[in-house]
């Protein structure tokens, strides 16, 4: 499991997607009960292989994409 530390600027629904290099969504989570400020979002990524992925965070007002690297334990 991975904990994503992020700042949510508005109270709205957020969708979190983890996408592999081929563009396939390999994990996702929606979060309706948000509040403004710093948040810790748990994403279940234990089943993913080591490699490069992109985390896409989307709401009605904005989209952000971040590169992440999962390394072997």
- Identify any residues that bridge with 37 across adjacent strands, giving them in sequence order: 8
pLDDT for 73 beyond 70: no
Residue 2 has a pLDDT of 77
The token pair at 1 is 């499991």
Q: 3-state DSSP call for residue 25?
A: strand
Range with lowest mean pLDDT among 1-5, 14-18, 44-48: 1-5
pTM of the model: 0.80
Cα 71 to its chain centre, rounded Å, is 17
pLDDT for 13 beyond 80: yes
- pLDDT, tens only, 19-68: 999 999 999 988 887 788 888 888 888 888 999 999 999 998 889 999 99
Task: To the nearest 10°, report the CA torsion of 42, 21, 65, 7.
Answer: 20
Residue 47 has a pLDDT of 87
């Amino acid at each position: 499991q991975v904990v994503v530390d992020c700042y949510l600027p508005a109270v709205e629904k957020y969708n979190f997607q983890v996408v592999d290099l081929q563009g396939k969504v390999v994990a996702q989570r929606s979060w309706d009960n948000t509040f403004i400020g710093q948040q810790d979002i748990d994403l279940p990524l234990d089943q993913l292989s080591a490699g490069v992925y992109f985390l896409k965070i989307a709401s009605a007002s904005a989209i952000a994409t971040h590169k992440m690297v999962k390394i072997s334990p």
